[in-house]
Amino acid sequence: MDDKEFAGIVNSTKPIVLSAIKKHLDSHYFHSIDDIVQETYLRAYRSLLKNSFRGDSSMETWLYAIARNESLRMMKKINREEMKVRKKAQKMDEMALKKQAEERDDVNIKKIDLKRTISILPEKYRRVMELVSLGFSEKQIADELSLKKGTVKSRIFRGKFLLQRIIAGGVKNDN
């Protein structure tokens, strides 16, 4: 079989092949019609070269069957690939959720550790640092504790310094 002879087969059977593909292929997979047509004719060409076409049916019927089978095969292949993608995306989502939970746990542990560390500060620094950790501004702390703003600033500065030393392991409570 030469190229011109096969080109004639393709030209005369293309409507039948496309009809088989469109009939057996879900519309979700129409993007792969060209691949299925190509695979259909590639399989047919190889079979014709091997003289595997017995002639029990017409060329059109034979190509229709190949196109149908290729359509079904392509849908299974795409479904497997989509399933892999969905599983991978689900696994990535699970990993992201796990990481977020771990980060949230780390933050909660740090908050607990910070509260515990603040609790060993001398009283005049402890109360100021507790309010700082709750998000109070210097003015709000001054109003809450009936202190001057400058006193609050210096206690925050000194409290942070003491916290750093405690965290580094260098200070014990010296009320």
Q: What are the pLDDT digits (tens) for 56-96?
A: 889 999 999 999 999 999 999 999 999 999 898 888 888 88
- Identify the band that residue 131 occupies on the pLDDT scale cut at 50, 70 and 90: very high
pLDDT, greater one: 111 or 42:
42
pLDDT at 12: 94
Angle at 137 between CA 131 and CA 140, to 5 degrees: 80
d(CA 53, CA 44): 8
Instruction: Give the pLDDT confidence score for residue 3 in this predicted structure.
Output: 84
Winning range, highest mean pLDDT, from 56-60, 98-102, 110-114 = 56-60
Compare 109 and 92 and report the one with higher pLDDT: 92
The Cα–Cα gap between 117 and 129 comes to 10
Comparing CA positions, the residue from 100, 110, 12 lying closest to residue 59 is 12
d(CA 121, CA 141): 17
Cα–Cα distance, 152 to 138 (Å, whole number): 6
Q: Model pTM?
A: 0.52
- Give the residue range(s) of CATH 1.10.10 domains in the chain: 120-167
Architecture of domain 3-91: Orthogonal Bundle (1.10)
Q: What is the CATH number of domain 120-167?
A: 1.10.10
Span 26-38, pLDDT tens digits: 888 899 999 999 9
CA atoms of 45 and 7, how far apart (whole Å): 10
